[in-house]
């Protein structure tokens, strides 16, 4: 993997200028124009449509993937919204490194109407993900949800070892998922994750691991897009 570090060092002086030419939209334009299908895993699918652009691309490229959503009511909506896609598997699970069950916290349905719509997408293992947005203790519902490890989910995907796209929105658990993923076996071309909920130590650890395994990192708002160097160059030159 040393050659990756050398290439990254070589690119460093022009990296900012180059990165401006590659973004989420351009990555998906490349997928659409160069592939017949998209092999993907999405962790935290919510209802499949809200607060996310992934489903909008399925009109243009055949989706072949796995979507996980642990909250039963959201999972029912996801199931309905994805019913036309025969090659999408839905799993009513969360991701956790070791536990097969975890407590998860979400805003109750009734008080949710007093908050912005995105608060419903803030279900988390950590209650603070809700309280920091002004949600009161009595407005929070506690659920016990089943869990899988990230590597076991990759094992279930027939293209797991050469996955196109991994997306996660796990309200504070994204970093742990990346740190747990076995990059010696699984190397998604593109990974999108939320960095806003990570502390500086975890974020540094995550970035170090991704760079070590050959990823270029780009920030887009509260998200980071990690793209493998060879694929980054393909998109850049398209």
Assigned domain for 126 exists: no
36-72 pLDDT, tens digit per residue, is 999 999 999 999 998 888 999 999 999 999 999 999 9
Q: What is the pLDDT of residue 200?
A: 95
Evaluated on CA atoms 155, 224, 214, 181, the torsion sign reads negative
Name the pTM for this structure: 0.92
Residue 165 vs residues 63, 73, 177, 213, 217: alpha-carbon distances, Å: 11, 26, 15, 16, 14
Q: Is residue 119 part of a domain?
A: no
Q: Is 6 part of any domain? A: yes
Q: Is residue 32 part of a domain?
A: yes
What pLDDT shows up at residue 14?
52
For the segment 143-163, what is each residue's pLDDT rounded down to a tens digit?
A: 999 999 999 999 988 777 889
Residue 128 lies in a domain: no
CATH number at residue 28: 3.40.50.150
The tally of domains found in the chain comes to 1
Average pLDDT over residues 174-180: 97
Question: In which residue are the tokens 């962790």 written?
Answer: 43
Q: Which pLDDT score, from 0 to 100, does residue 18 have?
A: 64
**What residue has token string 């055949």?**
62
Is residue 137 within 8 A of residue 107, CB to CB? The reply is no
CB count within 10 Å of CB 37 equals 14
**46 is in which domain, residue-wise?**
2-96+149-236
* 103 located within any domain: no
Asked whether residue 52 is assigned to any structural domain, the reply reads: yes
Is 171 within 8 Å of 197 (Cβ atoms)?
yes
């Amino acid at each position: 993997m040393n050659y990756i570090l050398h290439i990254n060092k070589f690119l460093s002086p022009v990296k900012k200028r180059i990165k401006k030419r590659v973004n989420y939209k351009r990555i998906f334009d490349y997928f659409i124009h160069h592939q017949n299908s998209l092999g993907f895993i999405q962790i935290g699918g919510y209802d499949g449509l809200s607060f996310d652009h992934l489903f909008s691309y399925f009109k243009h490229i055949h989706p072949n993937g796995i979507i996980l959503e642990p909250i039963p009511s959201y999972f029912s909506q996801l199931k309905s919204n994805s019913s036309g896609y025969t090659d999408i598997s839905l799993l009513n699970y969360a991701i956790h490194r070791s536990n097969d069950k975890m407590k998860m916290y979400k805003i109750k349905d009734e008080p949710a109407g007093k908050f912005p719509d995105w608060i419903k997408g803030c279900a988390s293992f950590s209650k603070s993900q809700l309280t920091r947005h002004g949600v009161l203790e009595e407005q929070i519902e506690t659920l016990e949800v089943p869990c899988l490890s990230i590597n076991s989910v990759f094992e279930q995907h027939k293209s797991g070892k050469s996955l196109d796209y991994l997306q996660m929105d796990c309200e504070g658990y994204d970093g742990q998922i990346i740190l747990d993923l076995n990059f010696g076996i699984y190397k998604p071309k593109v990974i999108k994750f939320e960095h806003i909920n990570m502390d500086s130590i975890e974020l540094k650890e995550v970035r170090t691991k991704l760079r070590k395994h050959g990823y270029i990192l780009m920030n887009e708002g509260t998200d980071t897009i990690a793209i493998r160097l060879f694929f980054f160059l393909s998109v850049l030159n398209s």
